[in-house]
Amino acid sequence: MSFFVTKYTGLHRVFRLGTYVSIKQMQPAFGHERRYTSTSEENRRIAKIYTKTGDKGFSSTFTGERRPKEDHIFDALGTTDELSSAIGLAREFCIDSGHSFTDQLEKIQCVLQDVGSNIATPRSSARDSHIKKTMFSSQTVIELERWIDLFTEELPPLTNFILPSGGKSSAALHVARAVCRRAERCVAPAVRSGETDPEVAKYLNRLSDYLFTVARYAAMKEGKGESIYKRPE
């Protein structure tokens, strides 16, 4: 018996002998395709990351639709992937500097997998079972707000425009913040057309505020000055 586990945006489509059998959320990853076999040698994995089905410039949503790769759904999905990657890099700098919020960044990366799952499941072609498995919780937004408020209490008030700066952790968090704002722009059309949950847009909007706040917090904790905007002479 052999089956495929298709990984994208945290969703895993499991096919057995060409027939869809189940969908599970397992270890999430964007854009990876792997083949597993389960023969008499139990669960031996054959690492095949490519299926070549995307070679002609089309790919599949989680609902099974084929769309061109430049479709706004893949644009939003890909940008969410970039965002998680930017946070991953920033997190490495933050770990090196001993910051206290690196677990939060990891949790955010997990939530972004759920964001991806929701984006990859356009409502127009989703069945109830798809919708149930890719629901996005509004609790995630509340949690971000709580974190933002806690950091803000410790930070000096903003009196100037600050420039992305303040050490490697802080500057990398600002890069992630800017990617987050691009993800928000890419997701907006899908939300407006009813294909993606509006909570996803809210989450990305709040996440850019979180990343801005935590970038400032990192600079403060490292005793690194933030550059401020000065009108060029």
Q: Which residues bind ligand ATP (CB under 6 A)?
A: 8, 31, 33, 50-55, 59-61, 69, 74, 77-78, 120
Q: How far is the CB of 232 from ligand ATP (least distance, A)?
A: 38
Q: Which is nearer to ligand ATP, 193 or 227 (CB)?
A: 193
d(CA 145, CA 214): 12
Strands 45-46, 32-37: pairing is antiparallel
Q: Which is nearer to ligand ATP, 164 or 189 (CB)?
A: 189
Q: How far is the CB of 160 from ligand ATP (least distance, A)?
A: 38
Identify each DSSP E strand in the chain by its residue range: 2-8, 11-16, 19-24, 32-37, 45-46, 58-60, 66-68
Q: Which is nearer to ligand ATP, 35 or 168 (CB)?
A: 35
Q: Which is nearer to ligand ATP, 195 or 226 (CB)?
A: 195
Residues in CB range of 129: below 8 A, 6 or more apart: 23
Q: How far is the CB of 111 from ligand ATP (least distance, A)?
A: 18
d(CA 53, CA 68): 12
Q: How far is the CB of 62 from ligand ATP (least distance, A)?
A: 7
Q: Which is nearer to ligand ATP, 28 or 167 (CB)?
A: 28
Q: Which is nearer to ligand ATP, 48 or 132 (CB)?
A: 48
DSSP 49: -
Q: How far is the CB of 53 from ligand ATP (least distance, A)?
A: 5
Q: Which is nearer to ligand ATP, 72 or 221 (CB)?
A: 72
Task: Name the residue type at position 158.
Answer: L
d(CA 60, CA 72): 13
d(CA 85, CA 90): 9
d(CA 181, CA 100): 24
Q: How far is the CB of 80 from ligand ATP (least distance, A)?
A: 9
Residue nearest to ligand ATP (CB): 54
d(CA 72, CA 121): 12
| Cβ atoms 210, 110 nearer than 8 A | no
Q: How far is the CB of 4 from ligand ATP (least distance, A)?
A: 11
Look at residue 13 and give its three-state secondary structure: strand
